[in-house]
Each structure stands twice: as C-alpha cells, then as structure tokens.
Amino acid sequence: MDVVNQLQRQFIDYSASLHREGFLDDQFTQLQKLQDDNSPDFVVEVASLFFEDCEKLINNMARALEQQQGVDFKQVDASVHQLKGSSSSIGAMRVKDVCIAFRSFCEAQNREGCLRCLQQVTHEYSLLKNKLQTLFRLQQQILAAGGSIPVVE
Amino acid sequence: MESCNCIEPQWPPDDLLMKYQYISDFFIALAYFSIPLELIYFVKKSAVFPYRWVLVQFGAFIVLCGATHLINLWTFTVHSRTVASVMTTAKVLTAAVSCITALMLVHIIPDLLSVKTRELFLKNKAAELDREMGLIRTQEETGRHVRMLTHEIRSTLDRHTILKTTLVELGRTLALEECALWMPTRTGLELQLSYTLRQQNPVGYTVPIHHPVINQVFSSNRAVKISPNCPVARLRPAGKYMPGEVVAVRVPLLHLSNFHINDWPELSTKRYALMVLMLPSDSARQWHVHELELVEVVADQVAVALSHAAILEESMRARDLLMEQNVALDLARREAETAIRARNDFLAVMNHEMRTPMHAIIALSSLLQETELTPEQRLMVETILKSSNLLATLINDVLDLSGLEDGSLQLDLGTFNLYAVFREVLNLIKPIASVKKLHVSLTLAPDLPEYAIGDEKRLMQTILNIVGNAVKFSKEGSISITAFVAKLDTLRDSKAPEFLPVLSDNHFYLRVQVKDSGSGINPLDIPKLFTKFAQNQSTGTRNSGGSGLGLAICKRFVNLMEGHIWIESEGLGKGCTAILIVKLGMAERVNESKLPYMPKMPTNHGQTAIAGLKVLVMDENGVSRMVTKGLLLHLGCDVTMVGSSDECLRLVSHEHKVVFMDICVPGIDSYGITIRIHEKFTKRHERPLLVALTGNTDKVKKENCMRAGMDGLILKPVSLDKMRSVLTDLLEHRVFFEAI
C-alpha cells in the first residue's frame, strides 16, 4: 500500500501544481466529479476529444492564416471560438485565455497578432496535452496498484 | 053647652107662657123629625155602622117623641078627644120605644166605648209602627247609602277620589256638620289633616300621633265617641253653639307587603288614618248605633278600597316602567340590528371592494409570471403573488371571523405537505428576521409525517401568525420552531381542562413550539392574549401594530382543528413560548397530482424530478457537448445530443422537457430555432423549455434571448451543482435566467 499512497500523493501534488500553474481550473475538477461508475473514463474521453478537436482547429486556423490573399478572419474567429468553447469546457485555462486574446486580434483583423496567438495556442496546447497525459498515466498507475483516485478539491 | 069631649088645657091659651110652650113644642117636633132624617141620611152614606138596629130604634123613638110633641101642639087649645087619644097613643108608644131603647143602650154604650178605646189603642200602635217604619226606612236608607258609598269608593281607583267621595257621601248620609280624615305623615309621628268635607284645601294641620284619645281610637276597630275638645275634633271654628257629638274611627292603611294570603289583616300594619265625624252643632242629635255601624263599615271599605288603589297604583307604575324598559330595549335592539346590518354591509362592501383589487393583483401577477422576466423581476413577482395570496386569505378571514363567531366556518380539508408548510413559513419570515438580526431555526422531528390531512392554508396562517408574533416582539436573539408528533402524555399536560385529546389511528396530534427570546409576557396577561381586540396597554413595545385579531383567529382555527394553543412565559424580558397542538389526519401515499396549493416543489424531490428527464442538447462543439452530456447523465437525465440546428429541429419532440442550446457559435441562428420550435409546439405545456448555453454574454444578448422566446440562459462553464439547481429551478418555475 505504500506504493499506492505514494502514487496518490504524487497525483495530488501534480494536480495541485497543474491548478496552481493555471493549466487547469475548476471546470476540470467538475469534470472529475462527473466521473463515476457509469462513466469511469469520462475525463479521459473528454480529454481525448479535446485533443482531437484542438488539433483540428489549430490546423484550420493555421491554414486559414497562411492564406496570403485575404485571410478569412471570420473562419479563424469561428475556429478560435470553438477552441475557446472547448477549452473552457474542459477547464484548460491557459488555452482559453490565449483564445480570448486571439479573438480580439481576429476582430481587429490583425494577422500578425493572430499568428502570434496561434503560436501561443499551439504551445499551450502541447504543454497541456503532456501534462494531462502524465496525469492520466498516474491515474492508471494508481488504479493498477489497486488504489482509488483521490478527489482533489 | 053641649057636652064636648074637649079637653081644656090647664092654662089659658092666650097666656104668654103657653105661647112659648107652643113654639118650643113646634121646634122640638121639627128637630125631632129632622134628626132621624139626618141619621138615615148619614147612615145610608156610611158604609159601616154596626148598630143599625139601634138606629132604627132610636129613630123610632125620636119620631114618636116628635110626634108626641107635634100632637102636643093641638092640646094647647081646646081639642077633641080624638086628638087626646092620639096623643096618648103616641106617648104610650114613645114610652115603650124609649124604654126599649134605654134598655138597648145599656148593652150598646159599653160596646161603643170600647170601640173608642180600641181606636185609641190602634192609633197609638199605628203611630208606633210609623215610627218604627221610619227607623227601618232610615236604616235601609243608610244601608243604601253605605252600598252607594262603597260603590262610589270602589268604582274609582284613585286615592283622592275615594277619600273625597267617602267624606261627601258620609256627610250626606249622616247629615254631618264636618267630616275629616287625618293621614299619618311620612315619619309616622303625626297625623296630618288631609281631607275635610267643608273646607276645600285643608291647611297642613298636624297633630302628634301619641295622644291618648287617638291611641284609644286606634286600638279598637269600632267607632269611638270622642270629646269635641280633642285636638282632632277641633275642625270648625268655635261657634257659640254647643258642638255636636264627635265620633272617630280608625281606617287601616294596608300596605301591599302586608297582604299575607293566609292571615288576613289582623293588621300587622301599624299605620292608621283617623276619620272624624261631627254632628251638626246645634242639633240635639246623638249618634245612633246604626250610624256608628255605618261609619265602621265605611271605614273598613275605605281601607280595602285604598289598598286596592295602592295595588293598582303599584302595578300601573310597574307596568309603565316595564313599558318604558320595553321601549328602550326595543330601541336598543333596533339600534344593535342596525349596527350589525351596517357592519355586515360594510364588511360585504369592503370585502367586495377589497377583493376586486386583490383579484386584479393576483390575476395580473400570475399573468406577469407567465411572461418573460428577469430573475429579479421574477423574484419580485413571486413575492407579490405570495403576499397577495396571503392578503387575500386575510380578507377572507376577516369575513370568516363573523363566520367563525357563528360557528359556520368549516375547514378546507385536504392533503398537503407538512414540511413544506414549515418551510414556507420559514421563507416568509426569514427576510424580516434577518433584518432584525434574529436567528430563526426550524426543527422538524423525524417521525413527523410528511403529508397530512387538514386545512393547510389556515394551519400555515396560524403558524405564521405565531412565528410572526415571535419575530415581532423579539428585538434580538433567536427564535426556534420545533414541530413533532405529540404523544399522549405531552397532550395531557396541556393547560386546558377541556382539551381531551383522543388518539386514533387515522389522526395524529401535531405539536409546534415557537420559542423566542424576546420581551416576554407578564403571566397575568396571558389569559387575555387570545381575546379579540384585547391588548395589554402596559408595555410600549406592544404598540407596534396588530389589530389584536391575530391570536383570536388563531385560537378559533386551532379550536376548529380540535386542538389547543397557549402561551407560556416566565415574565417580562424572559421570552415566551407559544405552543400549539392540532389534530391532523394521516395521509396515505400521495402522488404528486394531489398537491394543489404548493407553488414550490420541495427540493428533496428535485432529484426525482430531474431523474429521467428527457433532455436535448444541441452543441456544435464536441467537447462542450460531451461535457454537458456528462453533466446531465450524472444527474440522471436522458440525454439526446445533436450537433446542428436541423438535427435539433428534427429530433425535438414533446417528450423532451428541456432543450439546451449553445448559442455562442456564430453560425447558429439560435433565435431562428427558438422561433421554429415555438411554432412547432403551439401548446405551451408540450413545448420543451429552451435554455441557452453560452460562454459569454451581455445584456443585449440576454434580452434577445428573452425576446426570442427562450426560457432560460445559463453561462458556461456549468458546474454539477449549478446544473442541478438550474434544472430544478427550471422545472419549478419554467424559467431561469442567470444574472449577468
């Protein structure tokens, strides 16, 4: 059981750090609450969906912004909007913040700004993905060791 | 000479003496002849003459004597023998008859004499009889007078007339000089001259009652002769004549209270009047026995008549008094009826006048509730509705109070949620309590049934009244409300001897205790508390409004519910506890349709409301769609996910109670969908509730949502608790707009 405790402690610490650093916010906690016996992998599923969505959207945005002649800011904006929605749904705070900034650039039709934001978004997204994957790995380790996922408040 | 038989008279005829003799004889003869004629004539005339035979004899005798004397006339001269013989015959006859007559007269004359004495005797007798007749007649007349007097006296029931008549009639009957009546004064120590016959208005002339003569008169019931020098007899101015005899008699004055049925007036009364009667002064009249008797009889009659008059006076007076009282009572009754009618009219009018605006308020507030409102507005409208409902109930009760007094009020029995009643009371009282910084706590015993049968409105009103009073009269501290099922022992020690709780299977006794730490009540004032309009004037804190009706109404309601309500307090400043026990019926399992009045579904039913709820979620964003789905699934809803508005319109049905739409995606015309859904479901109860989910919004967007016909707006991100409460609220109020 020492292993489990250790793992759990690690998990808690890691979760706390993620929250502290602003990667995740309260919404993520809510999602974790939704995980129950009926949907044991709920959070993972949502996260996976998020990652897929994100990649798709980022690609869309990149493509749209690469257009030399007449960037379709509306499309970009739509994508950013989607991304913002998704990130806020999952609780990816940092991503969401970038999206907000991104949107203002879109409205201003500032290509440079948009590109910069896109870069930022991509960066944040990758970070988050890694962190979440680490978290999920920890979770699986705990479960494998026979423990239960501690609830992080 | 011849020898003649002539007889020569003795004397010579021419003698003077002879002449005189001749004439006398002539006249004697005449007289003698006329006497029998007279006799015959008068005898014939008289009817009665017993001695006819004697008369005949006498007549014969006289006739013969006359004849003799007549014949004698011829003898004066020379007369023949025949004449002499005739003369002799006549004389002989006369002698015979006269002897016989003389003899007869011996028998007759004693008879005649005795006749005379008899006649005298008879005359005397007749005189005596006449006298006696006179006496009898007087007596009879007196009797008649008495009867008449009595009749006169009795025919009037007026005191004065009686007495006056008495005196007048007595005076007339007995031919009195003066007749007077002395009445005892109020003090009873003097006799006052009240009535006299001759003087019209006797001056108030009094005589002390303790005079020996007066005492003598009073001590006997007979008429007593008194001396004219006695003070009561000095009625006339002293004349030069001897005053006539005076008689005095007592007249008992009978009082009503002295009329004992069994013992007739042996005169337990001591009050007498004195009647004084004076005979005419210069006559030699004396008082006769019959007159005295008359006076006594009259005195008695007068006494009786006076007492009758007195009785009548009393009864007349009593009757007049009764009549007056009757009239006064009638007037009072009519006034009271008018007042009651006026009050009823007033109540009816006011009731109507009050109800009409109340109805308007309630109806319009309800309608307002159906429209789109901001949450604050909705809250306000709900408060308005709740308050108006309470006010309407109060108005009803104002009218009911008269119904309560008639006993014609009946409880509206129904099944209701007991817990909800308490919660409602708590919710209503919380604002005021929090303003006063009072802490209100509610404790419901676990064994308290959730549902009960009773008059929910009135129970709530009662509890609210008590709790309200607790809050009103507490300046600080806390108020605790506890409710539990009363057991038999706790029932029995309630301080009401007439409260006899009966336990039965279908009923239970709810006991509610409201304890406050407020200003308390003086234990002496406690009995007055439940009296209508009675407020104790002492403490100034009690001036804070209240018509005084509240507790009285509560008591009546509680009585109707076969319960008991009382207040305990240890004194001023020590707070007080109001305890009420009512009898409620046990309810069986209740299905939701039986809950009529409750505007709010209790929150522990929220889960069951949400569970199984069919929900449609429309969200283009996969992630957020998934999150929302997860939320709703966790809450137990039956979730359908759609990704586009077309899919939404296709799949939406009346089975879906709520449709969550994400409107922050620019491409989606959420308003259009809303309108189309409105069109699809014309009946309001079929249409699912349309809730907008949005990540960011502003007032404009919110208004647009409302205008488009959305029922709700929620900001993302939505936590589990938020979703739960939103759904609950949504299902209760059919609207939920988050505050921006």
Question: What 3-state class would DSSP assign to B187?
Answer: coil
- CATH of B614-738, picked from 3.60.21.10, 3.90.76.10, 3.40.50.2300, 3.40.228.10, is 3.40.50.2300
Query: Which residues of chain B lie closer than 8 angstroms to A81, CB-CB?
Result: 664-666
| Inter-chain residue contact B720 with A36, CB threshold 8 Å | no
> B535 pLDDT band (50/70/90 cuts)?
low
Mean pLDDT, residues A4-13 taken together: 86
Q: How many whole angstroms separate alpha carbon B418 and alpha carbon B509?
A: 13
**Residue B334 predicted with pLDDT over 90:** yes
Of B630, B662, B717, the CB nearest to A42: B630
Mean pLDDT, residues A103-131 taken together: 87
Mean pLDDT, residues B245-251 taken together: 86
Ranges A115-129, B460-474, B577-591: which has the least confidence: B577-591
B712-715/B689-694 β-pairing: parallel
In a domain, A87, yes or no: yes
In a domain, A152, yes or no: no
Instruction: Give the closest-approach CA distance of A121 to chain B in angstroms.
Output: 17
Pick the most confident of B8-12, B127-131, B504-508, B620-624: B127-131
Mean pLDDT, residues B701-722 taken together: 77
**Residue B263 predicted with pLDDT over 80:** no
Mean pLDDT, residues B544-555 taken together: 63
> B241 pLDDT band (50/70/90 cuts)?
low
Give the nearest chain A residue to B629 (CA atoms): A34
| Inter-chain residue contact A88 with B716, CB threshold 8 Å | yes
How many residue pairs from chains A and B have C-beta atoms closer than 8 A? 78
Query: What is chain B's mean pLDDT, rounded?
Result: 78
**Residue B494 predicted with pLDDT over 60:** no
The fold of the B410-490+502-533+547-586 domain, in CATH, is Heat Shock Protein 90 (3.30.565)
Mean pLDDT, residues B135-163 taken together: 78
The DSSP code sequence of B215-247 is HHHHH-SS-EEE-TTSGGG--S---SSPPPPEE
pLDDT in the model for residue B546: 44
Domain boundaries, chain B: 30-107, 150-256+268-315, 410-490+502-533+547-586, 614-738
| Inter-chain residue contact A88 with B621, CB threshold 8 Å | no
pLDDT in the model for residue B238: 61
**Residue A25 predicted with pLDDT over 90:** no
Burial class (CB in 10 A: 0-12, 13-18, 19+), B622: buried
> B599 pLDDT band (50/70/90 cuts)?
very low
pLDDT in the model for residue B323: 94
| pTM confidence score | 0.36
- Give the H/E segment covering residue B274: strand B272-278
Query: Which residues of chain A lie closer than 8 angstroms to B620, CB-CB?
Result: 82
- CATH of B150-256+268-315, picked from 3.30.450.40, 3.40.30.10, 3.40.50.300, 1.20.20.10, is 3.30.450.40
Q: Which domain holds residue A128?
A: 1-145
Ranges B95-104, B284-293, B640-649, B713-722: which has the least confidence: B713-722
In a domain, A128, yes or no: yes
Of B244, B256, B232, the residue nearest B183 (C-alpha): B232
**Residue B327 predicted with pLDDT over 90:** yes
In a domain, A150, yes or no: no
Task: Identify the residue among A27, A28, A31, A34 best suited for mutation to test binding to B, counting B beta carbons within 10 A and taking the highest.
Answer: A34
pLDDT in the model for residue B133: 92
The secondary structure of residue A65, as a DSSP letter, is H
| Inter-chain residue contact A85 with B626, CB threshold 8 Å | no
The secondary structure of residue B688, as a DSSP letter, is P
Binding residues of B, by number, are: 65, 69, 469-472, 516, 532, 547, 551
> B545 pLDDT band (50/70/90 cuts)?
very low
Pick the most confident of B120-129, B578-587, B692-701: B120-129
Query: Which residues of chain B lie closer than 8 angstroms to A27, CB-CB?
Result: 627, 717, 719
> B220 pLDDT band (50/70/90 cuts)?
confident
Q: How many whole angstroms separate alpha carbon B728 and alpha carbon B607?
A: 8
- Quick: pLDDT tens for A48-73: 988 988 898 888 888 888 877 777 88
**Residue A140 predicted with pLDDT over 80:** yes
CATH of the domain at A63: 1.20.120.160
| Inter-chain residue contact B622 with A86, CB threshold 8 Å | yes
Mean pLDDT, residues B25-34 taken together: 87
**Residue B125 predicted with pLDDT over 90:** yes
Mean pLDDT, residues B309-333 taken together: 90
> In 10 A of CB B261, how many CB atoms?
5
Query: Which residues of chain A lie closer than 8 angstroms to B630, CB-CB?
Result: 31, 34, 39, 42, 46
pLDDT in the model for residue B266: 53
**Residue B130 predicted with pLDDT over 90:** yes
Handedness of CA B530, B535, B537, B540 (dihedral sign): positive
ipTM value for the complex: 0.81
Q: How many whole angstroms separate alpha carbon B555 and alpha carbon B483?
A: 18
Binding residues of B for ADP, by number, are: 469-472, 516, 532, 547, 551
pLDDT in the model for residue B128: 95
Cα-only R_g, chain B: 68
Q: How many domains, chain A?
A: 1
Mean pLDDT, residues B647-668 taken together: 77
> B549 pLDDT band (50/70/90 cuts)?
low
